[in-house]
Amino acid sequence: MKLDISDVYSLDNKEVTRKVHIDMAEFQSRQGTFPIQAGEPFNLTIANEEGKRLRLSGEGDVTVQIPCDRCLQEVDVPFHFEIEKTVSLADVSEETEDDSDEAASYIDEERVLDVDRLIFNEILVNWPAKVLCRPDCKGICPKCGTNLNLATCDCEQGELDPRMAQFQDVFNKFKEV
């Protein structure tokens, strides 16, 4: 959702807490598109610090469905995010020595905070290196595509590709003639 925070911008030391929620239904990144289940709305506190900085704080939860690395089955991956950010109120060009986040991508010139963008960044930095539906996921048979968590296949018994096996049958028949 978009949150107009112009009132906090213009009043020194003003602090507001707003209940916000995530609108985005999908997480789109270079790695693909993943469905999102937004958690409960959460409290976001926006504080104006001496007219110099904005401090954003809040925490919440969101679940992203990511395919298992081995069997590709969708896994609900929970993300708990804790936001603690400081954004300079000065123009980007003016601030250099400040330790605040440079050019906050989630606040536009109209002083509207993009909650989805803020959370998007949180998901991105916490993206898991590995996603497994269960620690001992058996994966997919590379030969026939069977999900080995749900069923077994005969592929492991022979080294031959099924198509090759078929070919061999034909070849043997041919020899017998």
Of 81, 60, 172, the closest CA to residue 124 belongs to 81
| Beta carbon nearer to Zn ion, 90 or 141 | 141
Instruction: Report the residue number, 11 or 144, with the smaller CB distance to Zn ion.
Output: 144
The C-alpha atoms of residue 71 and residue 78 are separated, in whole angstroms, by 19
78 or 162: CB nearest Zn ion: 162
Angle, alpha carbons 146-152-156 (nearest 5°): 90
Smallest distance, Zn ion to C-beta of residue 133, A: 3
Give min distance, CB of 166 to Zn ion, in A: 15
Q: Rounded to an integer, what distance in angstroms lies between the CA atom of residue 115 and that of residue 43? A: 11
Minimum CB distance to Zn ion smaller for 47 or for 131: 131
Q: Which residues bind Zn ion (CB under 5 A)?
A: 68, 70-71, 133, 137, 141, 143-144, 146, 153, 155
For the record, the structure tokens of 66 come out as 């990511």
Question: What length does the chain have?
Answer: 177
Query: Taking the complex as a whole, how short is the minimal distance between the CB of residue 77 and Zn ion, in angstroms?
Result: 13
Q: How far is the CB of 125 from Zn ion (least distance, A)?
A: 25
- Side chain identity at residue 95, one-letter code: E
In the complex with Zn ion, the residue whose CB is nearer, 71 or 119, is 71
Compute the distance between CA of residue 3 and CA of residue 55 in angstroms, rounded to an integer. 15
CB of 151 to Zn ion, least distance (A): 9
The burial of 14, by beta-carbon neighbours within 10 Å (0-12 exposed, 13-18 middle, 19 or more buried), is given as: middle
